[in-house]
Structure 1
Amino acid sequence: MKKHVLVFFLILLILPMQIFANGTQESSETVLTIWDRNAEMEGVVSLFNAEMEKTNSPIRAKFELIPYEQQVSKFISALTAGTAPDIYSLDLVQFPYFISIGAFADMEELYQSMPYKEYLPQGMLPIGAMDGRQYALPYEIDLSVILYNKDMFREVGLDPENPPEKWDEFIKAAKLLTKDKDKDGTIDQWGTALVGNDAGSYMFWFMPFVWGNNGDMFTNKGEVVFDSPEVKETLQMWYDLIHTYKVAPPSSAQWSGGDRYNAFVAEQLAMCLGGNFNITALKQDAPDLDFGVAFIPSNRGTPATFGGGNMIGITKQSKNYDAAKQFIEFAYSEKVLLTNYAPKMALLPRSDLYDNEYYQEIPQMMDFARILENAKTPFSYKYNQIYDAVLYHLQGALLGKIPVNTAVSDCASEIQKVLK
């Protein structure tokens, strides 16, 4: 009897100790909240948690998918309520504003410590910086390019391995590639086409032409410099593709992004404004199409590409900066990028990793390594608010409703008003 009583009392003593120990273990666990508008980040979180469990680390991460249309409003609400995530990967054009209001923590030391920092897209870094300090880094990447039909190049005697690099070469090639193939008086193969019915498309495809002509929309401080001879010359060239050279369909002044893609798939278009997001789709929609990837042609300046996609940063409200830093270092690791992103043909933020087994299966993906080096992103505190002005004035010019010079000047004035 005494033995049973002793055992009973020992159990009573041990149970609270176990409960206390379990509670201590649970409370010592650090859980990072990761927000992203792209579902691919969930794979990074899963890999991170597996690694943390393997190394007996108390750090864990949880993922929340933020719909594109809610990525700004939800973040503002969270900042106001003091419930911001630890890490946020969102549309990179939003970072100048959020950095300016102190929403993100300084990541300069982390950036400087990265052994692969020189392989990150240098032209995109300024949009995640302020006062010489880095607050966010490019992570999930989109780049604008020219896609071209190599068979059509061969048919007119153009070298399919040497696409046009300059405006005059581009126009000359487009003239050769514009054809009335069945001789019925109607052009059924166009040299190129524009995308005139979407403001985002002007930013993504028109601006690289501007940069390649030594023009710009904003300085790195967000000052408006759009009203310039270089920009007017670029818009004039776009207008001439339709109205003077007649190498682009007049209807393309009202095309959306899907229209130019469909025309390229249907082999009605020889040179197409495109991006990395078209590559895997083309392999599915037109498996026999022999196509190449090229820089958007330049004029006076060097070739450029719009650096779109996401940047990633640690929010100022995070109470787990060291753990968040560990997550970001893990997210940029070769293992994660080649396991989670490369097999899906997503562009990697590190150009040193482009020669991988997955990209080798679709060689066009490897072309983006050199294109990534010339990526640039417009810097503005009110990026989305300029869309109406851009669409109205630039499309008006392409449609012949507004003189080119007037369109550029008035567009610049409206953007200036929006920013005040």
Structure 2
Amino acid sequence: MRSRGLRALAVTAAALLVTAVAACGGDDPAAPGASGTAGVDDGAQLTLWTRAATESVSKAYADAYNKTHKNKVTVTSYPNEEYPAKLASAAGAKALPDLFGADVVFAAQYASQGLWTDLTERLAASGLKDKVSPGHLNAGTWEGKNYAVPHTVDMSVMLYNKDLYTKAGLDPEKGPTSLKEFAEHARKIDKLGGDVNGTYFGGNCGGCVEFTFWPSVWGAGGDVLDAKGENAKVDSKEMADVFALYRALYDEGVAAPASKDEAGPTWLGALQSGKIGIAPGPSVWLGLIEEKGVKMGVAPISGPDGGDSTFIGGDAIGVGATSTKAAQAWDFLLWTMSEEAQVEIIAKNKGVPIRTDLASNKYSSADPRIVLINSLVAKGKTPYAKNFNASFNDPQSPWLQTVRGALFGDAAKSLTDGNTAITKSLQQG
């Protein structure tokens, strides 16, 4: 299976990097500024890789940085499901980018494999270690050393189109308070007809479904994994109920037809079109959707009968272990963590700052939707599993097969068989 191949490739890549970093790593004393802890801005051309879900934020950082610095950062994004394989291939070829971000749930894996440069001394000297998202830092720590810093803090929420709510006779200031009510709202909006659809979801994207469906399971009192991340619990009644609701919306034509094949890259665009009534998605999309002139409301993701939760995610980012421009790459990372970047790029655009000391700022306090998003942190979860990628996010993962079956095939059998296959995957290696 491809998932096994990815794990083998990643292990091989890590072994290769031991010599690769020694030969050309960013801590080469000959590199300008590399022996210190400060960043260097000397006109270096830097490459940054990101997954599609974080592309917009990464480019916003890069664009602003490029306007005020000699160094120039070029961002390249890859489809969410293909990204881990792309990184593993680059590591094996000793050709990692200068910087690369990753879903925070994979940060420990990449740190343990040596794919990022050790940032411990630089982070300590920056004075920011106690001011940025501790969950992200913890995820990017291996054997007491820091290999990654927060890039985005994201949570899953319900995003709804206020204009379509009004046209459908719904109150644009009141989002759904349960998943069943979400379905009712979506059905009413779908009746507007034309090219309007009630809802949208990533039906061919394991990560998308985790991020948006799992909070409903948690909200209903269920769970997806055991505490150690070694046993799956996807065959629960709570999970079955959530899948059944989304499946009904698709079968009825309330969910846009493209939902079946959505693998991640065009997920945001669907909501930016202004033709989707309500859909669960990343909180960081609020500002990106409104940039297109679409007025949005925000509500928590709930269980079928209530009970709010959220998937606390986002991305961590570090310096590629084979980069020869570690000091310059660090200059960019330092700037992204600055108050200027966090307030004027993230908070201004309805995002959640990675800085805990900037959670309350001139933009968040003025927008009750942001206050709501920030309040969900206490109710959310970030799942942990050593073999998370192979079990859940890889295109060949048993989770994606389970998702496809639960939404478009034999639902009961898919959840039962999927639970067995996912547990087996979680316990490998």
The TM-score range, normalised by the shorter chain, is 0.5 to 0.7
1:376 lines up with 2:360 in the alignment: no
Pairs aligned (count):
372
SS at match of 1:178: helix
Q: Give the aligned residue type for 1:271.
A: I
Structure 1 unaligned regions, length at least 5: 1-26, 51-60
Q: Which residue, 238, 241, 265 being the options, matches 1:236?
A: 241
Structure 2 unaligned regions, length at least 5: 1-29, 35-39, 50-57
1:319 and 1:305 map into 2 onto residues whose CA distance is 36
1:402 lines up with 2:405 in the alignment: no
SS at match of 1:297: strand
1:49-91 deviations in whole A, cap 9, x for unaligned? Answer: 56xxxxxxxxxx5645444268656655665566656654344
1:330-379 deviations in whole A, cap 9, x for unaligned? Answer: 43110233455556666532354355566789875565444466463554
Show the counterpart of 1:226.
233
Structure 2 CA distance for partners of 1:396 and 1:156, relative to 1, 3 Å: same
- Which piece of structure 1 moves more, 342-351 or 356-365? 356-365
1:148 lines up with 2:153 in the alignment: no
Structure 2 CA distance for partners of 1:172 and 1:276, relative to 1, 3 Å: closer
1:157-187 deviations in whole A, cap 9, x for unaligned? Answer: 976545344xxx331464366349989xx99
SS at match of 2:281: strand
Show the counterpart of 1:305.
311
Structure 2 CA distance for partners of 1:91 and 1:415, relative to 1, 3 Å: same
Q: Give the aligned residue type for 2:245.
A: D
Show the counterpart of 1:336.
341
2:397 and 2:152 map into 1 onto residues whose CA distance is 26
Q: Which residue, 107, 123, 144 being the options, matches 1:95?
A: 107
Structure 2 CA distance for partners of 1:45 and 1:177, relative to 1, 3 Å: closer
1:180 and 1:45 map into 2 onto residues whose CA distance is 41
1:204 lines up with 2:222 in the alignment: no
| 1:271, distance to aligned residue in structure 2 (A) | 2.8
1:92-118 deviations in whole A, cap 9, x for unaligned? Answer: 444233222233355567667876667
SS at match of 1:203: helix
Q: Give the aligned residue type for 1:295.
A: P
Whether contact under 8 Å (1:179, 1:187) holds in the other structure is no
1:65 and 1:260 map into 2 onto residues whose CA distance is 18
Structure 2 CA distance for partners of 1:215 and 1:380, relative to 1, 3 Å: farther
| 1:297, distance to aligned residue in structure 2 (A) | 1.2
Structure 2 CA distance for partners of 1:377 and 1:127, relative to 1, 3 Å: farther
Show the counterpart of 1:10.
none
| 1:292, distance to aligned residue in structure 2 (A) | 0.8
| 1:270, distance to aligned residue in structure 2 (A) | 4.1
CA RMSD of aligned residues (A): 4.9
| 1:296, distance to aligned residue in structure 2 (A) | 1.2
2:126 and 2:145 map into 1 onto residues whose CA distance is 15
- Compute the TM-score of the two structures, normalised by the length of structure 1: 0.65
Q: Give the aligned residue type for 2:78.
A: Y
Q: Which residue, 20, 25, 30 being the options, matches 2:33?
A: 30
Show the counterpart of 1:42.
62
2:354 and 2:250 map into 1 onto residues whose CA distance is 38
1:274-295 deviations in whole A, cap 9, x for unaligned? Answer: 334543454354x3x5431122
Structure 2 CA distance for partners of 1:349 and 1:377, relative to 1, 3 Å: farther
**Alignment of structure 1 residues 259-274 onto 2, 5 Å:** 262=270, 270-274=277-281
| 1:323, distance to aligned residue in structure 2 (A) | 7.7
1:68 and 1:323 map into 2 onto residues whose CA distance is 23
Percent of residue pairs bearing the same amino acid type: 24
**Alignment of structure 1 residues 357-368 onto 2, 5 Å:** 364=369, 367-368=372-373
1:179 and 1:284 map into 2 onto residues whose CA distance is 26
Q: Which residue, 68, 72, 93 being the options, matches 2:78?
A: 68
Whether contact under 8 Å (2:190, 2:254) holds in the other structure is no
2:272 and 2:85 map into 1 onto residues whose CA distance is 36
SS at match of 2:59: coil
1:196-215 deviations in whole A, cap 9, x for unaligned? Answer: 24333212212222333444
Structure 2 CA distance for partners of 1:220 and 1:93, relative to 1, 3 Å: same
Structure 2 CA distance for partners of 1:265 and 1:323, relative to 1, 3 Å: closer
